[in-house]
Amino acid sequence: MSNDVVPIYIMGKKYHVPATLTILKAMEYSGYKFIRGCGCRGGMCGACATVYRLEDSYKIVPALACQTVVEPNMSLTQIPFFPANKSIYDVEELEPGTQTLLQMYPEIARCVCCNSCTKICPQELDVMDYVQAALRGDIEKAAKLSFECIMCGLCASRCPGEIVQYHVGLLARRLYAKYLTPKAKHVADRVAETEQGKFDPELEELCRMDKPTLEKRYAQRDIEAQ
């Protein structure tokens, strides 16, 4: 067997794939067609959650399939959707009180501080810390600590308290954005200008352009420096 090719097991079946491929690309190389569970392919959307076990290891390792390169005799499968409960609410009817998160997700009181959620997070977020902040009613801290959550569901898959951490963080961010974040006046001004039709002529001009002209216009647009 060439050093450039490694054996892997996908849902129990053996395949040989190039050693440089990510799990996602290795599965496609092996003939799997993804209709869902592939997403952005850049580690940003959380759609390609996967678990695998290496040869002679007792550990099951969580990862994102688009970020993780295959290893010899890796045994793997994907879990692009984790069946977690989600509270139904209208954020317009909620208040940013200290008990809101606990009322919507009472299971956060079952947190035993084992930190399994933090250890499994592919984004290396302090998941347990934002759950504890939610339990204390600190919406701002819960929102900020969970800000980069990509909703992959791996935290919930390991939680002995059966907490759905990523839904808790999402509610915290929604409450913080709607009620606690200072309003940006320039955004309100731009919305008002849009409603008044200030940009209608420019939009109509863009709609009349043919595709080559539109592509050229797009390529020449002003881009904000990073």
Give the dihedral sign, CA 142/131/68/152: negative
And the tokens for 133?
């902040």
For tokens 């969580």, the residue is 62
CATH number of 5-78: 3.10.20.740
In the chain, CATH 1.10.1060.10 sits at 91-180
And the tokens for 148?
């980069």
Give Cα 211 to chain centroid, integer Å.
33
Q: In a 10 Å sphere around its CB, with 0-12 CB exposed, 13-18 middle and 19+ buried, how is residue 130 labelled?
A: buried
In the chain, CATH 3.10.20.740 sits at 5-78
Q: Are 168 and 108 in contact (CB under 8 A)?
A: yes
CATH number of 91-180: 1.10.1060.10
Give the count of beta carbons closer than 10 Å to the beta carbon of residue 24.
24
Tens of pLDDT along the chain (226 residues)? 456 999 999 999 999 999 999 999 999 999 999 888 788 888 888 889 998 999 999 988 888 999 999 999 999 988 877 888 899 999 999 999 999 999 999 999 999 999 999 998 988 999 999 999 999 999 999 999 999 999 999 999 889 999 999 999 999 999 999 999 988 899 999 999 999 999 999 999 999 999 999 999 999 988 876 5
pTM of the predicted protein model: 0.75
Report which secondary-structure segment, H or E, holds 189.
Answer: helix 185-195
Q: In a 10 Å sphere around its CB, with 0-12 CB exposed, 13-18 middle and 19+ buried, how is residue 151 labelled?
A: middle
**CA-to-CA dists, residue 90 to 19, 93, 102, 122, 178, angstroms:** 48, 5, 16, 30, 12
And the tokens for 11?
């849902």
**pLDDT of res. 41:** 86
Query: Residue 111 and residue 115: Cα distance in Å, rounded?
Result: 9
**pLDDT of res. 3:** 66
